[in-house]
Structure 1
């Protein structure tokens, strides 16, 4: 059930257009329009381990970073910030219990993972059915005009003229509305709210990432550099593509972080010889070809998009057997070091 500014939100529409009308009405709600306008004026916070090193490092913030298709639920007693970036057509979903500050963030990249993903995110956040949970939606730009959208939320809908962002946003909103929990939406910085256009009318995201300040519950735009997207950056990136060939991950967000112990627990994943050969093949192509073949929004990706893919392929070529990375099929575990960073257990 959805609330906005503490009041129940509903639309009276025909069943054939319910999802589209609900999403459009939500984005046109004055409270959320005002929230989006205010968000645009907030400067991005830049996270970098290298810039936060030195004698004061131990007194600075502790954060949890998420890659695409990952989620984490954090306790404000252990974590100051939780966030993600590198989002173009993906959507970051924040669900926070205002009574205890428990905060779950998921980086969703497909309508197919929304329903199970919500259940994963809510498992440690909901303690009673009466609590209104604070919700923020962030990311997913207007890669295709929403006037062309229909109610399809499957993979075909993502690959036709509807684009990628709109079906994903619509699925998230529909799923929130159908669940019994109470979701109070504070931010919906998605689609046209998160779109800027060049002189030719091409759309780009205004922001690619965000963080949640867990103690206050505030959400601000953010970027992370290569030193702060940790721990286990390459393996976690590879898990995203490898998970599509692993049926045990069907419809799920990737498990990443252990809330109770404040550790990263990278669940094992398998990559196949097919992915090894695919990596060798793609590595030989030009940057422009890789960008066009491997991105849902080639013109909107960050400058390091292709380089990050090449590093993943180098790792796969060097480590063709996944059991070398996950010996005994055990997770890779990282705990916080004294300075707030991460070290392998």
Structure 2
């Protein structure tokens, strides 16, 4: 069940030509309370997380998640949990109102929403039906530019229904709506509320990332630099890509962090010679070729998008056999040291 401003959210019954999730999403996007909350979120300054901030006992401690990952954190151990690099992806925050336990997921496909939500809730509380949750949705944007919308053939559906972001957002709110738990939707900075346009009408997301302050539950726009997306950055990036060919991760979010011990546990992932040959074929492509081939939103990616892919491909070429990375077929475990840095166990 979805609640807005303390009240159960209701929407007109779905029309025969439109799925129920679309009706719910469109109604939520027009809700005055959510529009006001989104404006307040967008008014915040974007915080930059740097690896140097993590050193020292008095510095902030955070957990970073990549695409298709999720992590649940204890406010007694972690100050912030967040993600970035989202264009057509959507970040979902679920926070237990009673104890502040917070779960964050970086969702990239409607296929992982139902199972992913169950994973998040199972890590938050033993009996989720007796607990109420604060929820934030941030990310995704209207990928269709004004020129594309105006120049396209007349369609039965609006231009914003095209692309990747709308179906994902629709699936998320429909799943929240359908479950028996009580979800208090606090922020809905998605689609049109997260879209800016340049002078040529090209569209971009306002924000690509966010962080949750675990003690207060406040969510702020955020960006993480290349050294703060730790630990095991390259292996975790590769795991996202190869997980789509691993039946063990079908329709699931990737587990990455152990809440009780404040440790990262990167479960083994297998890659084959197919990934090796793909890496060889793409490594020397031009930036524009890589963007058009590998991105769902080529014009909206961050400046380091291509470089990050090239580093993954280089790793795969240098380590063609997955057992070199997981020699005992066990998880790669990282613990937080006294100075805040992640150390391989």
Q: 1:19 to 1:128 in 2, by over 3 A?
A: closer
Does residue 26 (structure 1) correspond to residue 1 (structure 2)? The answer is: no
Distance apart, 1:161 and its partner CA: 6.8
Higher mean C-alpha deviation, range 124-133 or range 187-196: 124-133
Any residues of structure 2 matched to 1:322-333 within 5 Å, and which?
322-333=322-333
Aligned to 2:108: 109
The answer to whether the 8 Å contact 1:144/1:163 transfers is yes
1:131 deviates by 2.4
Q: Map of 1:153-192 to 2, 5 A cutoff?
A: 162-192=162-192
Determine if contact 2:68/2:106 at 8 Å carries over to the other structure: yes
The 8 Å contact of residues 54 and 61 in structure 2, kept in 1 or not, is answered as no
Q: TM-score, normalised by structure 1?
A: 0.93
The verdict on how the C-alpha distance between 1:128 and 1:66 changes in structure 2, with shifts beyond 3 A counting, is: closer
For normalisation by structure 2, the TM-score amounts to: 0.93
- Tell me, in whole angstroms, the C-alpha distance in 2 between the residues paired with 1:128 and 1:221: 28
Structure-1 residue corresponding to 2:72? 73
Distance 1:198 1:284 in 2: 31
Aligned-residue CA RMSD (Å): 1.8
Contact 1:255 1:267 in 2 (8 A): yes
Give the Cα–Cα distance (whole angstroms) in 1 for the partners of residues 74 and 137 of structure 2: 20
Contact 1:73 1:102 in 2 (8 A): yes
Residue 221 of structure 1 corresponds to which residue in structure 2? 221
CA distance change for structure 1 residues 229 and 263 in 2, over 3 Å: closer, same or farther? same
Three-state SS of the structure 1 residue aligned to 2:103 is strand
Aligned to 2:9: 9
Which ranges of 4 or more aligned residues in structure 1 deviate by more than 4 Å?
A: 145-150
Q: Which residue of 2 aligns with 1:210?
A: 210
Structure 2 stretches lacking a partner, 5+ long: 150-154
Task: Tell me what 1:39 maps to.
Answer: 41
Q: Quote the offset at 1:163 in angstroms.
A: 0.3
Aligned length: 334
Cα distance, 1:15 vs structure 2:
5.2
SS in 1 for 2:140: strand
**Post-superposition shift, 1:149?**
9.0
